Amino acid sequence: MVKKEWKDKGFIDEAIDKSVNLKVEIRRMCEEKGAIILAHYYTRGEIQEIADFVGDSLALARKAAETDAKIMVMCGVHFMAETCKILSPEKKVLAPDLNAGCSLADSCKAEDLKKFKDEHPGYEVISYVNTTAAVKALTDMVVTSGNAKKVVDSFPKDAKLIFGPDYNLGSYINSVTGRDMLLWNGGCHVHERFSVAEIAKLKKEHPGALVMAHLECKGPVLAISDIQGSTAVMLKYAQQSDATEFIVATESGILHELQRSCPDKQFYPVPPEITEGSAGCSCNECEYMKLNTLEKIYNTLKYEWPEVIVDEDIAREAVKPIKRMLEVS
């Protein structure tokens, strides 16, 4: 039975005996229940360590589509759990905290996109994976930062395209494809905070370091970066490069995997730009991703809630652009 207080909070915070080894018990319950834990690179390091699979949005979508597990615990943000459910409707999909949203998904409401589509007849819609299921249901093709150029290139050169909701990613793809897509004016609250000034400070301290920036960063940040790409692209580059120092402009959770897979290299996170009235900090975190904790995962597996449900009619339409993306990728 789901308690009202759980529903009100959006997660389970039942007391856990201090003698419980959370990591051991989480793995035991996974084996007992036929569950797997999927985690995004932006989650806490301790969560990445106990996950069955860690990846970026594209890799997580592929895993969700192919897994034979009975239960998926999606440690990321809500749209990722929705994508898991859409791709595997017969599975039980759990999210440790329903409050783990996404500023990008929030910036594009389905009703607003529908109105925009109606105002631009003849246009096809390409939506970033960082969107709700309802938005994906209005979409012709979904993209991730890892495959956006490839997906856009798959459309005819004269195709009329709407791209959303990430303006920075869309602008970058326009620049490298020669397209003139209509761009939705949304942004990631984490990547919007990176600035040229903060990167320049780190570059002065570490002149030999290469700058890696996520495609959700603003144009000027991407322009001064040596490597522009998704988290997976940055990881692969760091692992294969002869360089030993890197300045990293993306959510700080990626540092866990960078340091784990490249122990002999140094990584310097770019701090967020300090605005009036704000305190400076050494890294740029997504507070939504950090809502995932070992305690919440333990309770989620124990009680098998919160469960993510997607309306069947919406899911039926939303799965089409996701599958199209996976076929192209």
Does domain 191-269 correspond to CATH entry 3.40.50.10800?
A: yes
* Residue 188 reports pLDDT greater than 50: yes
* Residue 280 reports pLDDT greater than 60: no
Torsion angles phi and psi, residue 100, rounded to 5: -80, 85
104-187 and 191-269 have identical folds: yes
- Quick: pLDDT tens for 31-83: 999 999 999 999 999 999 999 999 998 899 999 999 999 999 999 999 999 99
CATH class of 4-100+289-311: alpha beta
* Residue 267 reports pLDDT greater than 90: yes
Q: Which pLDDT value is given to residue 275?
A: 52
Rounded CA gap, 81 and 248, in Å?
27
The pLDDT confidence band at residue 279, using thresholds 50, 70 and 90, is: very low
- Quick: pLDDT tens for 138-187: 999 999 999 999 999 999 999 999 999 999 999 999 999 999 999 999 99
The pLDDT confidence band at residue 273, using thresholds 50, 70 and 90, is: confident
H or E element at residue 248: strand 245-249
Q: Which pLDDT value is given to residue 58?
A: 86
- Quick: pLDDT tens for 205-239: 999 999 999 999 999 999 999 999 999 999 999 99
* Residue 137 reports pLDDT greater than 50: yes
Q: Which pLDDT value is given to residue 277?
A: 44
Q: Which pLDDT value is given to residue 276?
A: 43
Mean pLDDT value across the chain: 95
Q: Which residue has the tokens 């897509």?
A: 181
**Concatenated DSSP letters for 1-37?**
---HHHHHHTS------TT--HHHHHHHHHHHHTEEE
Rounded CA gap, 227 and 123, in Å?
32
Please say whether the beta carbons of 323 and 83 come within 8 A.
no
* Residue 281 reports pLDDT greater than 90: no
Read off the pLDDT of each residue in 94-123 and give the average, rounded to a whole number: 97
H or E element at residue 198: helix 196-205
> Which residues, other chains included, contact 118 with Cβ-Cβ below 8 Å and sequence gap of 6+?
none
Beta bridge partners of 261: none
Instruction: Answer whether 0.85 is exceeded by the pTM.
Output: yes
The pLDDT confidence band at residue 283, using thresholds 50, 70 and 90, is: low
Which of 198, 229, 211, 186 has its CA nearest to residue 41? 229
Q: Give the residue extent of every domain in the chain.
A: 4-100+289-311, 104-187, 191-269
Which sign does the torsion angle of CA 100, 269, 39, 325 carry?
Answer: positive
Rounded CA gap, 230 and 297, in Å?
26
CATH superfamily of 104-187: NadA-like (3.40.50.10800)
Region label for 325, one of left (φ > 0), alpha (ψ between -120 and 50) or beta (otherwise): alpha
